[in-house]
Amino acid sequence: MTEPSRATLASIALQAGVSEATVSRVLNDRPGVSATTRQSVLTALDVLGYERPTRLRGQSALVGLITPELSNPIFPAFAQVMEPLLAQHGLTPVLCTQTPGGVDEDDYVAMLLERGVAGIIFVSGMHADATADHARYRALVDRGLPIVLVNGYAEGIDAPFISDDDSAAMDLAIRHLASMGHVRIGLAVGPGRFVPVVRKRAGYLAAMQAHVGMGAADAEELISHSLFTVEGGQAAAHHLLSAGATAIVCGSDLMALGAIRTIRQRGLSCPGDTSVIGYDDSPLIAFTDPPLTTVRQAVVAMGTSAVQALIDEINGTPAPRDEFIFRPELIVRASTAPVRLDEGSVG
């Protein structure tokens, strides 16, 4: 790239939201410019179609955002929060979504490394699976790649973690149902190998003891592990209804919709016969039939913190290595109601 004209400097500065002097410093690879600003200028070059100076071509403004499949609306919700925030910092997100039998997390990481990304945010990735080999993340840290891990935790990874408070979520849900007279409260969650499931299970057992007075042995009989899908919720609800549950707390909104389907297939009503609580407060979930009572993840706060942590890592000011835990909120709608008097002694 030859020395840019004044008009070229002005257009790049306008696109990047910086001064012409800052653009000149970046193009000449001079000090005194933060990593975020430098990346913003480089992104402006790419957007406007200018060729980067040879010495700057290895400096990436790309960031990987790896999520599970988008069929669960909570994952696009995270992406919608993070993508514009990354763009505001001059970073271009590369959204990588996994599908069963398709490209997996490790394949995406290899592709992103080939493209020279500046960092990666993992949402509910292999770090959330207690049985997975977490050496893959340590290897990324060892090579100096900034990473942030959302909704999951693993010891020994030198990176920031962002999580929802699964235990508090269960306490909110059980307290709400207990206040309406429910005692036989079931828990429908995903596979037990996932860290959020382990935490939900522990939170559920503690809440059942605190708010219902039910011991762990009896409460264990009201836990059903399935898949975080509509079909998984249907299967779990069959088991829990047979166990005498008058209310069901689910590990995802999709599971809750499946539970309601099973309730109706049995000739029962929600919430007349069985109350249901979801988890996530996914987009449009307020418009289901009935509108779903659910535990809302702090998606905006979590997504914002994840992006800021990654920016700090990229800028060479590492974020604290603690796990940042965000408190959820119970959103009460129409899928929960007081227990029927003739159901209080079921089971």
Tokens of 47: 């957007």
CA dihedral 8, 11, 14, 19 (to 10 degrees): 10
What residue numbers bound the domain in which 20 lies?
6-56
Considering the domain architecture, whether residues 272 and 322 belong to the same structural domain is answered as no
**Beta-sheet strands, E only, within the chain:** 62-67, 92-97, 119-123, 147-150, 161-164, 185-189, 223-225, 247-250, 275-280, 293-296, 323-326, 329-331
Q: CA–CA separation, 222 vs 233, rounded Å?
A: 14
Considering the domain architecture, whether residues 267 and 186 belong to the same structural domain is answered as yes
Confidence at residue 345, expressed as pLDDT on a 0 to 100 scale: 43
Global pTM value: 0.83
Main-chain dihedrals φ then ψ at residue 224, nearest 5 degrees: -130, 120
**Contact criterion met (CB below 8 Å) for 305 and 82:** no
**Contact criterion met (CB below 8 Å) for 291 and 253:** no
Considering the domain architecture, whether residues 336 and 192 belong to the same structural domain is answered as yes
Provide the domain count of the chain: 3
Q: CA–CA separation, 90 vs 86, rounded Å?
A: 7
**Does residue 292 fall inside a structural domain?**
yes
Q: CA–CA separation, 99 vs 106, rounded Å?
A: 13
How many residues can be counted in the chain? 347
Q: Which of 221, 219, 209 is nearest to 175 (CA)?
A: 209
Q: CA–CA separation, 142 vs 334, rounded Å?
A: 50
Considering the domain architecture, whether residues 101 and 119 belong to the same structural domain is answered as yes
Confidence at residue 59, expressed as pLDDT on a 0 to 100 scale: 53
Considering the domain architecture, whether residues 226 and 84 belong to the same structural domain is answered as no
Considering the domain architecture, whether residues 142 and 218 belong to the same structural domain is answered as no
Mean pLDDT of the chain: 91
Considering the domain architecture, whether residues 193 and 103 belong to the same structural domain is answered as no
**Does residue 1 fall inside a structural domain?**
no
Considering the domain architecture, whether residues 308 and 279 belong to the same structural domain is answered as no
**Does residue 313 fall inside a structural domain?**
yes
Residue 317 vs residue 171, higher pLDDT: 171
> What is the average per-residue pLDDT within 51-71?
75
Residues 6+ apart with CB under 8 A from 313: 119, 146, 147, 148, 159, 160, 319
pLDDT tens digits, 12-46: 899 888 998 998 888 887 877 876 787 778 778 77
Q: pLDDT tier at 343 (50, 70, 90 boundaries)? A: low
Q: Return the CATH number at 81.
A: 3.40.50.2300
Q: Return the CATH number at 42.
A: 1.10.260.40
Tokens of 266: 């049995």
**Does residue 43 fall inside a structural domain?**
yes
Considering the domain architecture, whether residues 111 and 148 belong to the same structural domain is answered as yes
Segment among 53-57, 81-85, 162-166, 206-210 with least mean pLDDT: 53-57
**Does residue 293 fall inside a structural domain?**
yes
Tokens of 215: 């011991």
pLDDT tens digits, 178-198: 999 999 999 999 999 999 999
Considering the domain architecture, whether residues 190 and 289 belong to the same structural domain is answered as yes
pLDDT above 70 as % of the chain: 94
Q: Give the Cβ contact number of residue 268 at 10 Å.
A: 13
Considering the domain architecture, whether residues 178 and 292 belong to the same structural domain is answered as yes
Considering the domain architecture, whether residues 104 and 119 belong to the same structural domain is answered as yes
**Does residue 30 fall inside a structural domain?**
yes
Q: CA–CA separation, 225 vs 237, rounded Å?
A: 10
Q: CA–CA separation, 224 vs 185, rounded Å?
A: 11
Does the pLDDT value for residue 169 go beyond 50? yes
**Does residue 100 fall inside a structural domain?**
yes
